[in-house]
Amino acid sequence: MGRSSTPPDTAPDAEDVLLARHGRAAHLTLNRPRALNALTHAMVRRIDEALTAWEHDPEVETVVLTGAGERGLCAGGDIRAIYEDARAGGTASADFWRDEYRLNARIARWPKPYVAVMDGIVMGGGVGISAHGNVRVVTERSRIAMPETGIGFVPDVGGTYLLSRAPGELGTHLALTGAPVGAADALLCGLADHYVPSPQLPHFLEALSTKPVRQALPHHTHQTHQPPPPGELTAHREWIDHCYAADTVEEIVDRLLTSGVQEAKQTAETILTKSPTSLKVTLRAMRRARELPTLEEVLAQEYRISCAALTSPDLVEGIRAQVIDKDREPRWRPGTLGQVGDVEVERFFGTRP
């Protein structure tokens, strides 16, 4: 590995992101397997430094992102740190998001092939550093989700940009429920580009050390191997597109409950366990994201929303219930959709109705 193209290991936590060179390919490996490779601010800076070094290095043709361990690429941001910051009324989370969202935008504009191996669990911030890449690979083990409404937060890292551009109302369904999708549904929703069976991954990554991506991919994708396991969303498109086309979360829930479809009723019950405030802000964010032409503009909107969420009681309560105490019984404030008015929703966007 050329020293001139590799950021120095100056930080004590530099090993949370491993850097390596294998022939034509430079590798970024998220290396916090016990935390399912959850992103810290230092890791975001480390990735950004590496991309700076490799962007103009003629020996680096491809960048490859993977996660250490057997469970997945990345479970998202370090929400325990966000919890402590929000409780203390600090600014560390806002600083983290600023750099993280800038990195998401940089990845989307990366001039070289950026191969994100979305194997296993890929959630929240993990989606941000993978699904904006120009070569996104899923496997039969992939489980991709933006589960923020369950912790009193709102899909970020460009999640509302990606989901608002999914076919029909599939993205709205995924944003409100936080439901994970497998490989086939990730391909359908535009969250990924290629399916490579997990046993083929070592061979694919080895091929990238000697071949351009355009030559390595065809030998390992579903064009020459088995297709991904069948997805679930296509069979539910009719009721998803009808129910989620409603103008309000209340009407969406009502349509789901009265559709006569058992899966739709179960989905309504799932939605009603989420933060009412987060649900309403998420729907508004998704609808606005559809009208914003660039990822950068959507990220700017998400940044305003995220900073507002730091002062909302539901973020601290949601993380407490799901991660800290793990009682899975959040006490949302307000507790029902009907109690969340337009003034409260617009506060997250820095505007008034």
Number of C-beta neighbours around residue 105 at 10 A: 18
> What whole-number distance in Å separates Cα of residue 113 and Cα of residue 36?
25
Active-site choice (49, 85, 119, 156): 156
Cα(230)–Cα(323) distance, integer angstroms: 31
The answer to whether residue 317 is catalytic is: no
**Which one is catalytic: 77, 126, 133, 152?**
77
Q: Is 260 a catalytic residue?
A: no
Residue 137's DSSP bridge partners are 117, 194
Chain-centroid distance of CA 169 in Å reads: 18
Of 190, 188, 270, the C-alpha closest to 231 is: 188
Do residues 42 and 11 touch, judged by C-beta distance below 8 A? yes
Task: For CA atoms 337, 338, 340, 345, give the dihedral sign.
Answer: positive
CB of 74 within 8 A of CB of 39? yes
Cα–Cα separations (whole angstroms), residue 112 to 72, 133, 207: 24, 10, 17
Tokens of 103: 């990195």
What b-and-e string marks burial along 139-165, b requiring 16 or more CB atoms within 10 Å of the CB?
bbbbbbbbbbbbbbbbbbbbbbbbbbe
Closest CA to 345 of 271, 257, 247, 246: 247
Catalytic annotation, pick one of 61, 148, 185, 317: 148
User: How far apart, in whole angstroms, are the C-alpha atoms of residue 227 and residue 280?
Assistant: 37
Return the biggest CA–CA distance within the chain.
63
Catalytic residue among 72, 120, 124, 125: 125
Active site residue 77: yes
CB 159 within 8 Å of CB 322:
no
Residues assigned a catalytic role: 77, 125, 148, 156
